[in-house]
Structures are given as C-alpha cells and as structure tokens.
Amino acid sequence: MAAKRGTKTSMKNMEKELLCPVCQEMYKQPLVLPCTHNVCQACAREVLGQQGYIGHGGDPSSEPTSPASTPSTRSPRLSRRTLPKPDRLDRLLKSGFGTYPGRKRGALHPQVIMFPCPACQGDVELGERGLAGLFRNLTLERVVERYRQSVSVGGAILCQLCKPPPLEATKGCTECRATFCNECFKLFHPWGTQKAQHEPTLPTLSFRPKGLMCPDHKEEVTHYCKTCQRLVCQLCRVRRTHSGHKITPVLSAYQALKDKLTKSLTYILGNQDTVQTQICELEETVRHTEVSGQQAKEEVSQLVRGLGAVLEEKRASLLQAIEECQQERLARLSTQLQEHRSLLDGSGLVGYAQEVLKETDQPCFVQAAKQLHNRIARATEALQTFRPAASSSFRHCQLDVGREMKLLTELNFLRVPEAPVIDTQRTFAYDQIFLCWRLPPHSPPAWHYTVEFRRTDVPAQQGPTRWQRREEVRGTSALLENPDTGSVYVLRVRGCNKAGYGEYSEDVHLHTPPAPGTTQTVGTTAVLRMPQWRRRHPLLS
C-alpha cells in the first residue's frame, strides 16, 4: 500500500512535465520539434495558422484506415509501379533525375517554415513539409495515458460497443480503434477470424499506431542517423540527404540512450542527499537574496535622499545669496531715484535753492548756499554722467550644472575594477622583484590591490607550487624582497573596491639569474616580504 501510494505521489509530481506549453493542458498527440521540445498537434496547427502558414499542418502520423489509402494503392498507376532498388534509387538521387514516391516535382525553391517554439522561445525550422515532417511522441502519449489512469483523470473509460448503460472498458484494440469490455471484445473478435489476431491493449481514449512511422515515406523506422539526430526508415537511408552520415540500427541507438539515461538517473537517485543539501542551500540563498536586495534598496534610497537633502540645502543658500544681492541693489537704486526726483521743477531741493537765491545779505547767503551748492553740484554731476547705481541683471547668479547633471545622469552602481595592466617598462627583477601596474583609462577606481606570485620552475615530482598572496597593497607598485636566484616567477594582480574583486591581470614571468647585487629602496612602494631565501644578485630578466 505504501509503495502504491508513493507511485501515485511520483506520478502526481510529474504532472507539470506532461503539460503542453501552448494550451497548458495534457499533451494530445504531441509532436517532437527539431529543438526536441513537444507541442500538441492541434496547438501546433493553430500557431502556424497565426503565423500565416496555410496548408502545412498535416497529420504527421496519421495512419491509413482502409486499404485504399495506403501508399501503394493511392492510384492504379502507382499500384502497378514497383519501387526502384536501393542502388538504383541512390543513383537517381545523386543524378537529380527521376521521381519516386515521396519526391516532389518542381520544388526548386521550397518555402522555409519557421515555428516559434513556446518552450525555448526560439524559431525552429520545420522544412518544406511543415508539421507533416515531424514525428509523434508516442512514448509521451503512453506516459500521459498511464498518468491519467493512475490519478483517474476524466473518470473511467467505458465500452464503446455495449448497449446502454455501457460497462467499464477493460481492453482496447488498436486495429479496431475502439475500447471493449470483456464480453464485447470476445463478441467482436471471434475465434477463427482475422480479428482474432488483434492484440488487446489497455483501454484508452487515444489510439496510437503500433510503431513509429517515417513521416516522409510512411514506413516503419529502423535506423537512427547520428549526424542528423533523426530516426530514418530504409528509404531514408539511401537518400542523398543522408549520404556520408553515421547511421546505426535503432536497436543500437535504443541501447546506448537507455544506458546513458539509466546511468544518469541512477546517479541522481544515488545523490538525493546532495540534491536536498543543494536545495536547502538554494532556499537559503533565495532568502539572503531577498534580504540583501531589500537592504540594497534602502541604501540606495538613503543615498538619494542624502543627495536630495544636500541639494535642498544648497538651493536655500543660493536663494539667500540672490535675495541679499537683490535687496542691496534695490536700496542703491532707491537712493538714486530719490536724488533724481529732487531735481525736478517743483521739488523741495529746487524750491529751496530758489528761495536761497533771493537772499540779499551776502554773509548769510554764503553761509546757507555753501552746503546747498555741494548738493546741487553732486546732483548736476549725476545728471551729466547718469548710469543706474546697480545693474538689473543677475547673470552672475546663473548656475553651471552641466558637470553635475552629467554625474547624476551617469550615477550608477559601483563596478569592480577592470583587470590591471602590467607596466612592462617599469617591471623588472634585480636583487628584488619590482612589479608596477596601472588601471585601464575608464576603469572604476580600486581601493587596494592583491598581488599573487609563485615559482614555475619547481621540479615536477614536487607538484605545482601554490600562489602566495599579499592583500591590501596600496598604490600601483609592489616590491618582492629576497627571491630565489635562478628561478622563474609568475606574478599577477587584481584590484578591489566596495563592489568586490575585479579580474586578474595577465600573468607576467620574470627570471632571476644568479649574480651578486645590492638592495635598493624603491620610493613608497609596498614591500611584500617573502621567506628569507639566500640573497644573491639576480640579473635583469
């Protein structure tokens, strides 16, 4: 009972594998596309119709239901004509002359029919015959049939020959294309008749051919073309299209694929614990991704709000500066306006000056007119050399935001540094190894670098040496002290910033031949202290 329950559960779990990608229902007469995906025959016809292809949706696996419709008896002329021998047929194909069943006349420029596969989202070429050149996936049909029976989809299958009410069907007949109960099967397949030779099958609502038939020649497939990855019949083998191809019997292809599938399935079933561990890891990664994504959104929002706050503060200060400049100019212009109004006839200053001029007492006139003359002189000078006391233009308050707008437009997530470029002109091996590099022109900045180095001339029996690493190297150069003499070192470097580590630079190889030498201090470069090897003077590599 537990095993049966487990089988039903397994069948229920694979339901999504049995759904057509077009109608999202269980496959009905599925066709195998050249991209190895499947689609219902009716759905494929509908898709081709929507694409504008008319007359290319023939049934690729329809079987003749009567002797009159078989390939050899479609017409009296064809029935009297015998097929050419394989060698003769091959010569005809190579020469391009002659006709034979399955060959089309006048197909010099066949139409290329493209089918948009809903599974892989790619355009698949069907050839000039369209759906008629595709195989039906009979194995998938059988799996769908077993699934329907295991989960009782659609209820029981009833006998089609019983009088009402019909009994539940127990057998099916592919030749009769009907389902029977036990009594009706015996009744319609009596002993001593040709129908008694019919082999009963499980009851089904969809009858399939016994074997897989070639859609081109309606012959049973017997071989498999490895080059085309397609099943072929005997007539297909001698066609020019398969000349020079690797063709094997279908039994060999069956056994090879079955062994491969069995081996892969055994490996998967034997590593269920690993699969479950990886599932848990993926689920944990999904959770971390959700949390990290939310944190990234909050950080970006906070940074943008910070930029907005800085812009708002800057806006307030700039507006305050303009306001102060405007008030100062208005005050100066107001004073100048009042002075000019005092020069008009009938104004207080002119009237007062006219009254002062009526004074006849000379000392008193001099006393009163001295101050008045200074005011009149300033007003006269202002009148002769008139210009507004302040400019009305605020051009000096215009903002140049081109650079800032470009920066905001280019505002994007930080990228890792690009692979550094080794400066071969400044990189050398003397009594020390001096490595110098630079970043490409448009590379994001690097906060620090990681330098790795190892010897490459170690004897094979000792195995390959591991990379030695120096982290957080500042600047764009590094000094490796006390290298082994007469050795070949390979070095590489990569940058790092907040976004992570970038790609490694190309490897550079330096040779340190033996010779005496002295140690030099190289500016402010980072010194990577290596193990205390014997110090000798290596020559320039």
User: Does 110 have pLDDT greater than 70?
Assistant: no
The conformation of residue 213, written as its DSSP 8-state character, comes to: B
Pull the structure tokens for residue 79.
């029935």
Region 459-482: mean pLDDT is 84
Q: What's the whole-model pTM score? A: 0.49
CB 124 within 8 A of CB 34: yes
Pull the structure tokens for residue 428.
């050398």
- Rounded distance, CA 384 to CA 475, Å? 68
User: Does 505 have pLDDT greater than 90?
Assistant: yes
Pick the closest to residue 214 from 81, 63, 22 (CA basis).
63
Backbone angles phi, psi at 114, to 5 degrees: -105, 135
Beta bridge partners of 490: 454, 509
399-435 as b/e: b if 16+ CB within 10 A:
eeeeeeeeeeeeeeeeebbbbbebeeeebebbbbbbb
223: Cβ contacts below 8 Å, ≥ 6 apart: 231, 232, 233, 234, 236, 237, 247, 248, 249, 250
Region 257-279: mean pLDDT is 90
Backbone angles phi, psi at 26, to 5 degrees: -65, 145
- What is residue 159's predicted lDDT score, i.e. its pLDDT? 85
- What is residue 6's predicted lDDT score, i.e. its pLDDT? 54
- What is residue 197's predicted lDDT score, i.e. its pLDDT? 85
**pLDDT-derived band at 88, boundaries 50, 70, 90:** very low
What are the start-end ranges of the H helices in 158-271? 182-188, 234-237, 250-270
- Rounded distance, CA 72 to CA 399, Å? 90
- Which of the two residues, 134 and 527, has the higher pLDDT score? 134
73-83 as b/e: b if 16+ CB within 10 A:
eeeeeeeeeee
- Rounded distance, CA 523 to CA 517, Å? 19
Pull the structure tokens for residue 524.
């402010």
- What is residue 370's predicted lDDT score, i.e. its pLDDT? 79
- Which of the two residues, 485 and 54, has the higher pLDDT score? 485
Q: In the chain, what is the straight-line distance between the N-terminal and C-terminal CA atoms, in Å?
A: 78
User: Does 507 have pLDDT greater than 90?
Assistant: yes
User: Does 18 have pLDDT greater than 60?
Assistant: yes
Strands 448-455 and 433-438: unpaired
Region 297-325: mean pLDDT is 92
User: Does 20 have pLDDT greater than 80?
Assistant: yes
Residue type, 342: S
25: Cβ contacts below 8 Å, ≥ 6 apart: 19, 40
- Rounded distance, CA 159 to CA 178, Å? 8
CB 55 within 8 A of CB 123: no
- Rounded distance, CA 424 to CA 510, Å? 10
User: Does 387 have pLDDT greater than 50?
Assistant: yes
206: Cβ contacts below 8 Å, ≥ 6 apart: 28, 29, 141, 145
**Mean pLDDT: which of 18-27, 221-230, 242-251, 503-512 is highest?**
503-512
**pLDDT-derived band at 67, boundaries 50, 70, 90:** very low
User: Does 327 have pLDDT greater than 50?
Assistant: yes
Region 88-93: mean pLDDT is 41
Pull the structure tokens for residue 462.
């000792």
User: Does 246 have pLDDT greater than 80?
Assistant: yes
- Which of the two residues, 537 and 436, has the higher pLDDT score? 436
**pLDDT-derived band at 278, boundaries 50, 70, 90:** very high
State the chain's mean pLDDT as an integer. Answer: 77
Residue type, 504: Y
Region 184-204: mean pLDDT is 85
Q: What is the pLDDT of residues 344-379, one digit of tens each?
A: 665 677 778 878 888 888 888 888 887 788 877 777
CB 159 within 8 A of CB 166: yes
- What is residue 7's predicted lDDT score, i.e. its pLDDT? 55
DSSP, collapsed to helix, strand or coil, labels residue 507 as coil
DSSP string, 44-92: HHHHHHHTT--S----TTPPPSSGGGSGGGSSHHHHHPPPPPHHHHHHH
CB 445 within 8 A of CB 497: yes
CB 157 within 8 A of CB 147: no
Q: What is the pLDDT of residues 141-178, one digit of tens each?
A: 878 877 876 765 556 778 888 888 888 888 888 778 78
User: Does 540 have pLDDT greater than 60?
Assistant: no
406: Cβ contacts below 8 Å, ≥ 6 apart: none
User: Does 398 have pLDDT greater than 50?
Assistant: yes
| Angle of CA points 51, 52, 57, to nearest 5° | 85
H or E stretch covering 341 = helix 272-341
- Rounded distance, CA 136 to CA 38, Å? 9
